[in-house]
Amino acid sequence: MSYEVLARKYRPINFQEVVGQDHIIKALTNSIEQEKIHQAYIFAGTRGVGKTTIARILAKCLNCESESKPISTPCNKCSNTIEIREGRSVDFLEIDAASNTQVEKIRDLIETVEYKPAKARFKVYLIDEVHMLSTASFNALLKTLEEPPAHVVFIFATTNPEKIPKTVQSRCLQLNLKTVDEESLIKHFKEILKKEKINYDDESLMLIANSANGSVRDGLTLLDQAIAHGNGKLSQQDVKALLGTIDNSLLIELIKSVIDGDGKNVFDLLAKIEELSPEYDVILKDIISILHQISLHQFIKNSKSESIKDLSMEVDKEFCQLLYEIAINAYSKFPVHPSPKEALEICLLRMLTFNPLQKLSTEERASSNEASEKKNLKKNRLEPINDDGKKTETIIDSDHVLIENNDQWVNFFNSSQMSPFARNYFGNMMFESYKNNKLTLIKSSEIDTVPENILSEFKLIFKKSFKKEIEVSFQDGNVTNTPMLINDISEKKDQDIANKSLYEDKDIKDFMKKFGGKIKEETIKPIK
Q: Where are the domains of the chain?
A: 6-176, 182-243, 248-354, 406-481, 485-523
Structure confidence at residue 398 (pLDDT): 37
Neighbours of 124 (CB within 10 A): 25
The lowest-confidence range among 17-26, 86-95, 356-365, 443-452 is: 356-365
Q: How far apart are CA 155 and CA 459, in angstroms?
A: 66
Side chain identity at 273, as an amino acid letter?
I
Please say if the pLDDT value at position 14 is more than 90. yes
Which CATH number is 248-354 given?
Answer: 1.20.272.10
Instruction: Find the mean pLDDT for residues 313-335.
Output: 91
Instruction: Find the mean pLDDT for residues 351-363.
Output: 72
Instruction: Find the mean pLDDT for residues 118-140.
Output: 91
Please say if the pLDDT value at position 334 is more than 80. yes
Instruction: Find the mean pLDDT for residues 29-51.
Output: 92
Best mean pLDDT range from 284-298, 348-362, 410-424: 284-298
Element (H, E) at 341: helix 340-353
pLDDT tens for residues 270-279?
A: 998 888 778 8
Pick the CATH number of 406-481 from 1.10.3470, 3.30.300, 3.30.40, 1.10.238: 3.30.300
Please state, rounded to an integer, the average pLDDT across all residues of the chain.
85
DSSP state letters, 128-140: ETGGGS-HHHHHH
Percent of residues, the chain, with pLDDT higher than 90: 43
Instruction: Find the mean pLDDT for residues 443-467.
Output: 86
Instruction: Find the mean pLDDT for residues 143-167.
Output: 92
- Per DSSP, the chain holds a count of helices (H) and strands (E) of 23, 8
Higher pLDDT, 205 or 240: 205
Instruction: Find the mean pLDDT for residues 197-211.
Output: 89
- Torsion (CA) 340, 345, 346, 348 in degrees, nearest 10: 130
Are 185 and 19 in contact by the 8 Å Cβ rule? The answer is yes
Are 49 and 21 in contact by the 8 Å Cβ rule? The answer is yes
Structure confidence at residue 64 (pLDDT): 93
DSSP state letters, 452-502: HHHHHHHHHHHHHHHS---EEEEEE----S-HHHHHHHHHHHHHHHHHHHH
Residues 6+ apart with CB under 8 A from 168: 138, 141, 142, 145, 156
Instruction: Find the mean pLDDT for residues 336-364.
Output: 82
Structure confidence at residue 382 (pLDDT): 36
Instruction: Find the mean pLDDT for residues 376-396.
Output: 39
pLDDT band for position 358 (50/70/90)? low
Q: How many residues does the chain have?
A: 528
Chain-centroid distance of CA 325 in Å reads: 9
CATH topology of domain 182-243: Helicase, Ruva Protein; domain 3 (1.10.8)
Higher pLDDT, 261 or 515: 261
Please say if the pLDDT value at position 217 is more than 90. yes
Side chain identity at 122, as an amino acid letter?
F
Structure confidence at residue 387 (pLDDT): 42
Q: How far apart are CA 386 and CA 130, in angstroms?
A: 101
Q: Is it true that 6-176 and 406-481 share their CATH fold?
A: no
The second-level CATH assignment, the architecture, of 6-176 is 3-Layer(aba) Sandwich (3.40)
Which residues on neighbouring strands pair with residue 441, listed in sequence order? 431, 474
Structure confidence at residue 191 (pLDDT): 93
